Amino acid sequence: MISSHLFATDPKEHYDDSPSFHGMILFGKGDNFYISHLPMWMSPHDYQMVAKITLDDANKAKVNKLIQEGHSLFSVAPSSRFVLPKFAGGDIASFEADVYKGHFERDGEMIGEGTVSFESLVHFKKLNREEPSPAPNEQKYVLFGKGSDQYLVHVAHGYPEIDEILSITAFQDPEIVQLLDDKASIKLICNTNDKKKNMQGLDESAPQNCEVESEEDCEECTNDITDTTPAGSVSSKFPDLFNSIMIQKDIYTDTNDLGSGYSEEDHSMGH
């Protein structure tokens, strides 16, 4: 799914990248899991990527058990180097990885080895350190998931930047719900009262009013949601529809400028 250049990039434009180690945050529950690439400013790590994945049964059972015990942060450290855009583009079907409770670079505990398989792309963006950031009350988030299993991921812009993954409880217009499925995402503007860019992320203690934006350039969405469908009629109402969301859990927030405190050697060695 490819939206406007401000929000996303076509992975196929970057298939000539060098293979490298790419650590990921793992999140989700039940049968629905996602990975979020840990971006850095230097190539070939300068991508934000969120993908829906299939986790092998053994590790899925372990992670779900740990979630029931109160753990929420998991990560994967791939066992080999690969070209990240090729995975985002679906041309690398899977990779082997060590699965960790916690952050694998920050005292995480390895819980197993297994296979991470590509299912669908939620968000992919080539990062630009010089890209202007939206105003504090216009920070962009990707909304995805369904029902009680919904998430927000902050859309990265220029330096300095945070990496933020949130589990949310959403109180949504039914017409918005029609747009949410496992293969589509929409963008939100979560309005805050910050006077400057909030490097701490959204306020977890208060509801956030989030303005809806469409993925108008999303080819798959265009094919699935036409003007003749009930969901398609929603696009004419943007940006008048609003979500009220409450942050259920801060799964991961890195305020360290996209992991800039961690070196290329740290990433290449997987620790």
| pLDDT 10s digits, 34-50 | 999 999 999 999 999 99
What per-residue confidence (pLDDT) applies to 21? 96
pLDDT at residue 32 above 70? yes
Q: Which amino acid is at 106?
A: R
| pLDDT 10s digits, 49-96 | 999 999 999 999 999 999 999 998 999 999 999 999 999 999 999 999
Contacts of 64 (CB under 8 A, 6+ apart): 29, 30
pLDDT at residue 132 above 50? yes
Q: Tell me how far the alpha carbon of residue 89 is from its chain's centroid.
A: 15
What per-residue confidence (pLDDT) applies to 186? 76
Measured CA distances, 7 to 39, 68, 131, 132, 265 (Å) = 15, 34, 11, 12, 29
Provide the residue count of the chain.
271
Domain ranges of the chain: 11-127, 136-252
Global pTM reads 0.84
Nearest C-alpha neighbor of 251 from the set 22, 32, 34, 23: 34
Are 199 and 133 contacting, i.e. CB atoms less than 8 angstroms apart?
A: no
Beta bridge partners of 144: 151
Q: Which structure tokens are listed for 32? A: 């629905």
Phi, psi of 64 (to 5 degrees): -60, -35
Sign of CA dihedral 97, 102, 106, 108: negative
For residue 86, the tally of other CB atoms under 10 A from its CB is: 18
Are 184 and 220 contacting, i.e. CB atoms less than 8 angstroms apart?
A: yes
What per-residue confidence (pLDDT) applies to 226? 42
pLDDT at residue 271 above 50? no
Which strand (E) or helix (H) includes residue 123? strand 109-126
Q: What is the average pLDDT across 187-206?
A: 73
Q: Which runs of E-coded beta strand occur in the chain? A: 24-29, 32-37, 47-55, 74-78, 94-101, 109-126, 140-146, 149-154, 163-171, 186-190, 208-213, 242-254
pLDDT-based confidence at residue 234 (cuts at 50, 70, 90): low
| pLDDT 10s digits, 141-183 | 898 888 788 999 999 988 888 899 999 988 877 777 777 765 5
CA pair distance 210, 105, nearest whole angstrom: 33
Q: Tell me how far the alpha carbon of residue 47 is from its chain's centroid.
A: 11
Which strand (E) or helix (H) includes residue 265? helix 264-269
pLDDT at residue 270 above 60? no
What per-residue confidence (pLDDT) applies to 100? 98
Q: Provide, rounded to the nearest whole percent, the portion of the chain with pLDDT above 90.
A: 48
CB burial class (10 A; 0-12, 13-18, 19+) of residue 70?
Answer: exposed
CA pair distance 50, 3, nearest whole angstrom: 14
pLDDT-based confidence at residue 102 (cuts at 50, 70, 90): very high
DSSP code for 63: H
DSSP code for 45: S
